[in-house]
Amino acid sequence: MNSLKGFYRDYEPTILGTAFILLTLLLWQMIPLVMTLSKGMALFFTTPAQIVRTFFDLIEQGELQKHFYVSAVEFIVGLGLSIVVGLPLGIIVGRSPVLNALFDPFITAFNATPRLVFLPLILLWLGIGIWSKIVIVFIGALFPLLINTYEGVRNVDRVLVNVVRSFGANEWQIMKLVVLPNSLPYVVTGLRLAIGRAILGVVVGEFFGASEGLGFMIAMAAGSYLVDVVFVGVTLFMGISLILTMSVKMIESRLSRWRPEDVKTF
């Protein structure tokens, strides 16, 4: 009995958390058993079991894979481009106070604005092919990366730079020995935020100007009242988002062990 109590005490968070989720799913599943839905409501209703069934159906038909592939390409290419552009730019802007001052109004303005508002413009320029989505993903992911990178570079302790310089290091060595290691945790945080924005970009881009992709699938399904398909899509996005952000969070905390407690950004 005592060991059971001990087990519960040690794993209480996981137990309670899982129990809550399972309970919610169970209650959801049971709703049609407990109440009869009006015709109107029944149209919009689905159950977890149904969602799972639809999931497998879609895989069998090959539908899910097709859309997933397109969204994945948009995500990876867009995110990749934002890393390739954002990191070096962040480092340069971070090291140079002049460039920092010049770019700051633009960066602040673009960062505060939901990148979404540019979507009609981008659709105008690039049509509804895959590139308009890639661009939306790109500008969504770019800013968290850029800003976090340059914060990391700017926040380098002046004392450390001077220490290394006093041992005769040149600009490049200073970068390697002090700036880059110091910035790494910031960059990874930026990456985590960028991933979230990138997924958002995929979703939203595909809602409004697309003929393929998971977001397109969701939008189409909603229009045809296929609520279970909608939930398959949403759950898929949720799952991928969780997996990616958790993995990055793990890397992040590994790398941040030496940092003092910062105010976190959600």
Partner 1 sequence: MVKLNEVYQSYQRFVLGTASVIGFILLWQLLLTYIIPFNSFFITKPSLIAVAAKDLVSSGKLWHDLAVSSKAFVWGFTAAVLIGIPFGLVMGWRRRVEYALDPFLTALYASPLVALAPLLIVVFGVGLTGKAVLVFLLAVFPFIFNVFAGVKSTELLLINVVRSFGGKEKDLYFKVILPSTLPYIVAGARIAIGRGIVGIIVGEFYAASEGIGYSIALYGDTYRLPEMFVGIMLLMILAVLLTSGMRKLELTLAPWKVGQEGR
Positions touching partner 1 (CB under 8 A) are: 12-13, 15-21, 24, 44, 98, 100-106, 108-110, 112-114, 116-121, 123-125, 147-148, 151, 196, 199-200, 203-204, 207-208, 215, 218-219, 221-223, 225, 227, 230, 233-234, 237-238, 241-242, 245, 262-266
Closer Cβ to partner 1, 47 or 241, answer by number: 241
Q: Could you tell me the smallest distance in angstroms from the CB atom of residue 180 to partner 1?
A: 20
Amino acid at 5: K
Q: Could you give the angle at which helices 119-126 and 180-208 cross, rounded to 10 degrees?
A: 70
Helices (H), the chain: 2-34, 39-43, 48-61, 63-95, 97-112, 119-126, 130-154, 158-166, 171-174, 180-208, 214-223, 227-255
Q: Could you tell me the smallest distance in angstroms from the CB atom of residue 102 to partner 1?
A: 4
Closer Cβ to partner 1, 105 or 168, answer by number: 105
Rounded alpha-carbon distances, angstroms, from residue 83 to 53, 91, 172, 244: 38, 12, 21, 16
Closer Cβ to partner 1, 103 or 255, answer by number: 103
Q: Could you tell me the smallest distance in angstroms from the CB atom of residue 161 to partner 1?
A: 19
Q: Could you tell me the smallest distance in angstroms from the CB atom of residue 59 to partner 1?
A: 19
Closer Cβ to partner 1, 97 or 173, answer by number: 97
DSSP state of 259: S
Closer Cβ to partner 1, 130 or 189, answer by number: 189
Query: Which residues, at least 6 apart from 229, have a Cβ–Cβ distance to it below 8 Å?
Result: 54, 58, 217, 218, 221
Are the C-beta atoms of 152 and 185 separated by less than 8 Å?
yes
Closer Cβ to partner 1, 131 or 208, answer by number: 208
CA 45 from centroid of its chain's CA atoms = 28
Q: Could you tell me the smallest distance in angstroms from the CB atom of residue 128 to partner 1?
A: 12
| Max intra-chain CA distance, the chain | 79
Q: Could you tell me the smallest distance in angstroms from the CB atom of residue 251 to partner 1?
A: 16
Closer Cβ to partner 1, 257 or 264, answer by number: 264
As to burial, measured by CB atoms within 10 angstroms (0-12 exposed, 13-18 middle, 19+ buried), residue 101 is exposed
* Gap between the Cα atoms of 62 and 47, Å rounded: 23
Q: Could you tell me the smallest distance in angstroms from the CB atom of residue 68 to partner 1?
A: 14
